[in-house]
């Protein structure tokens, strides 16, 4: 236990001095370059989106958008994710197109944004509004976002079933960790 405390204290000290940067604990907006920050815009309903921008969106705003489409798929993801459940963005685009779904790509934070920007994709990018719930810790606001997206109270206790959310006429149907096989 003493070794753990010593290691944690050393990492905290190095992080506070800027020697070691620990990312991914918050939304990491402050770590973006000025050029990247210029890409970030607040989502405004009924306005044309620009594929060269990333729109900050709350779950409730997204649910309103989903009502405009008979079938929609929301994929929430961490930039640079290497999990077996994280596929290149074009995989989700191809599946959505093949199955007549409107796709919404929603990043959980700005951490590792370069990974996503380097990918080949055509769909508009969004990012979760980390300030909507007044919480800066990523784990907390992502859970709140997911709950509201599913139509639950934001702080409901719910099991994680994946980061693919399926909707029909704006109504939540299910969420999965992998795309269904056709």
pLDDT tens per residue across all 182 residues of the chain: 555 445 455 445 444 434 344 444 557 888 899 999 999 999 999 899 999 999 999 999 999 999 999 999 999 999 999 898 899 999 999 999 999 999 999 999 999 999 999 999 999 999 999 888 875 655 788 899 999 999 999 888 877 789 999 999 999 999 999 999 87
CB contact set of 85 (below 8 Å; sequence gap of 6+): 162, 163, 177, 178
Cβ(112)–Cβ(79) below 8 Å? yes
- pTM here is 0.84
How many domains is the chain built from?
1
- What pLDDT does 16 receive? 41
* CA–CA distance, 88 with 121 (Å, rounded to integer): 9
CATH value at residue 87: 3.40.30
Is 8 inside any structural domain? no
Question: Residue 105 has which token pair?
Answer: 């790509």
- What pLDDT does 3 receive? 53
- What pLDDT does 10 receive? 45
Residue 41 lies in domain: 23-176
Is 127 inside any structural domain? yes
- What pLDDT does 138 receive? 55
Is 98 inside any structural domain? yes
- What pLDDT does 35 receive? 95
Q: What share of the chain is helix, strand, coil (3-state, %, to 5)?
A: 30, 20, 50
Alpha-carbon 74 to chain mean position: 9
Please state, in angstroms and as integers, the Cα–Cα distance from residue 51 to each residue in 54, 56, 148, following that order.
8, 13, 25
């Amino acid at each position: 236990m003493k070794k753990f405390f010593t290691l944690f204290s050393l990492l905290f000290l190095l992080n506070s001095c800027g020697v070691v940067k620990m990312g991914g604990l918050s939304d990491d907006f402050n770590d973006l370059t000025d050029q990247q920050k210029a890409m970030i815009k607040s989502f405004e309903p009924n306005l044309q989106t620009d594929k060269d921008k990333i729109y900050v969106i709350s779950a409730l705003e997204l649910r309103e958008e989903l009502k405009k489409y008979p079938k929609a798929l929301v994929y929430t993801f961490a930039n640079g994710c290497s999990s077996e459940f994280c596929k290149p963005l074009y995989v989700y685009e191809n599946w959505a197109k093949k199955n007549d779904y409107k796709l919404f790509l929603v990043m959980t934070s700005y951490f590792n944004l370069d990974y996503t920007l380097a990918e080949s994709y055509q769909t508009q990018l969004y990012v979760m509004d980390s300030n909507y719930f007044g919480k800066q810790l990523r784990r907390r606001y992502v859970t709140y976002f997911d709950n509201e997206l599913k139509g639950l109270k934001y702080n409901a206790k719910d099991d994680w079933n994946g980061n693919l959310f399926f909707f029909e006429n704006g109504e939540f149907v299910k969420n999965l960790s992998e795309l269904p096989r056709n």
